[in-house]
């Protein structure tokens, strides 16, 4: 009987150890990831229990005190919050970046890591709207509702909303992205976003346009090459090379430094090959 009790207790200790080990591994993974790449707004929002704007009131050797502004997600019953500053700077929080009176956005968990990003005062409203839209998207009950929300985000004038929506379409939610037979209804919106000045938005918009490689999307990519927008031209040329390689010669459109010549080569190719696409 005594041996049986010892065995039960040993198993309980082992299970508790595994649980603690798993939690520590997750926390360490998130911290390590923040050191090697910058998480997207969508990722940080989903991993945080609260998101709040604020103003730095004091910066010490290893922490910052922040006066709380508006909560975009969650709530804390306090007027200030402490953010531990890492001894090893990472892409999310770097002690050298912050000074008193800085406007910041904090992503945090009650008992876990907190990340702080410096923002301009006029960006606070944009960030709040973007975070709330991401939350609204996540709780939407149907694929149709999610798609409608993403389209509205793409049509907004808020670049944070636009990027969050494009990120979801390209990477995070393929079921929503591929709803129906095609994304042709999105092409006019994507075409406009692909002609902008934000590299991230341009690249993501072009990638979505190139997903279908259809009779409607390929002419848009060719037109983007000679749009006069260097970002759009390079992204569209890269996308065509990547997706049409199976049916086009390898050196087609290699004149990336000469957009007009590049576009004309693709136009000639398209005239002879469009029947191969739906």
pLDDT band at 49; cut points 50, 70, 90: very high
> Does the pLDDT of residue 188 top 80, yes or no?
yes
The answer as to whether 83 is a domain residue is no
Stronger pLDDT, 168 or 88, i.e. the higher one: 168
Instruction: Specify the pLDDT at position 92.
Output: 55
Distances (CA, A) of 152 to 6, 113, 148, 156: 60, 32, 6, 6
Between 276 and 122, where is the model more confident? 122
The structure tokens 């991993």 sit at 47
Distance CA 147, CA 46 (A): 18
Give percent above pLDDT 70 in the chain: 73
* Residue 142 located in a structural domain: yes
Asked if residue 146 belongs to a domain, the reply is: yes
Q: What is the rounded distance in angstroms from the CA atom of residue 154 to the CA atom of residue 130?
A: 11
* Structural domain of 141: 125-276
pLDDT of residue 28: 46
> Mean pLDDT, to the nearest integer, of 128-155?
91
- The confidence score (pLDDT) of residue 173 equals 64
Tens of pLDDT along 149-161? 989 999 999 999 9
Q: How does DSSP classify residue 38?
A: P
90 within some domain: no
Query: What sign does the dihedral 21-27-30-32 (CA atoms) show?
Result: negative
Whether 178 is covered by a domain: the verdict is yes
pLDDT of 254 reads 53
The answer on pLDDT for 192 being more than 90 is yes
Asked whether the predicted pLDDT for residue 252 surpasses 70, the reply is no
> What pLDDT is recorded for position 259?
79
Residue 248 lies in a domain: yes
pLDDT at 256: 55
Reported confidence tier of residue 80, pLDDT bands at 50, 70, 90? very high
Burial (0-12, 13-18, 19+ Cβ within 10 Å), 204 = buried
Spell out the residues 6+ positions from residue 19 whose beta carbon is closer than 8 angstroms to its own: none
Cα–Cα distance, 132 to 90 (Å, whole number): 26
3-13: pLDDT as tens digits: 545 544 555 55
80-84: strand order across its sheet: 80-84, 63-73, 50-59, 103-108, 114-118
| Range 78-95 average pLDDT | 71
Q: What average pLDDT score do residues 59-78 get? A: 92
Q: How far apart are the first and last CA of the chain?
A: 74
Higher pLDDT, 22 or 163: 163
The answer to whether residue 261 sits within a structural domain is yes
Identify whether 60 is part of a domain: no
CA geometry: angle at 208 spanning 161 and 261, to 5°? Answer: 120
Mean pLDDT along residues 121-140: 93
Query: What pLDDT was estimated at residue 202?
Result: 93
Are 232 and 246 spatial neighbours (Cβ–Cβ below 8 Å)? Answer: no
pLDDT tier at 180, thresholds 50, 70, 90 = very low
Which residues are 118's β-sheet partners?
104
DSSP string, 207-219: HHHHHH--TTHHH
> Number of folded domains in the chain?
1
């Amino acid at each position: 009987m005594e041996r049986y009790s010892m065995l039960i207790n040993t198993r309980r200790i082992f299970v508790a150890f595994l649980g603690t080990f798993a939690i520590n591994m997750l926390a360490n993974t998130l911290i390590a990831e923040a050191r090697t790449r910058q998480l997207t707004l969508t990722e940080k929002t989903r991993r945080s229990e609260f998101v709040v704007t604020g103003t730095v009131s004091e910066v010490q050797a290893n922490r910052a005190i922040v006066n709380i502004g508006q909560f975009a997600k969650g709530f804390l019953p306090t007027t200030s919050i402490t953010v531990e500053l890492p001894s090893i700077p990472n892409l999310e929080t770097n002690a050298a970046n912050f000074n008193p009176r800085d406007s910041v956005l904090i992503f945090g968990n009650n008992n876990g890591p907190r990340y702080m990003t410096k923002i301009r005062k006029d960006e606070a409203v944009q960030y709040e709207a973007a975070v709330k839209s991401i939350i609204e998207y996540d709780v939407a009950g149907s694929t149709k509702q999610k798609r409608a929300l993403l389209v509205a985000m793409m049509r907004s004038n808020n670049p944070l909303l636009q990027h969050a929506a494009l990120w979801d379409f390209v990477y995070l939610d393929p079921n929503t992205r591929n709803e129906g037979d095609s994304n042709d209804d999105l092409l006019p919106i994507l075409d406009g976003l692909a002609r902008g000045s934000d590299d991230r938005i341009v690249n993501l918009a072009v990638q979505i346009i190139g997903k279908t490689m259809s009779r409607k999307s390929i002419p848009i990519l060719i037109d983007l090459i000679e749009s006069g927008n260097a970002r759009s031209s390079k992204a569209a040329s890269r996308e065509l090379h990547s997706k049409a390689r199976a049916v086009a010669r390898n050196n087609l459109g290699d004149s990336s430094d000469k957009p007009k010549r590049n576009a004309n080569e693709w136009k000639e190719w398209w005239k002879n090959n469009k029947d191969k696409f739906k």
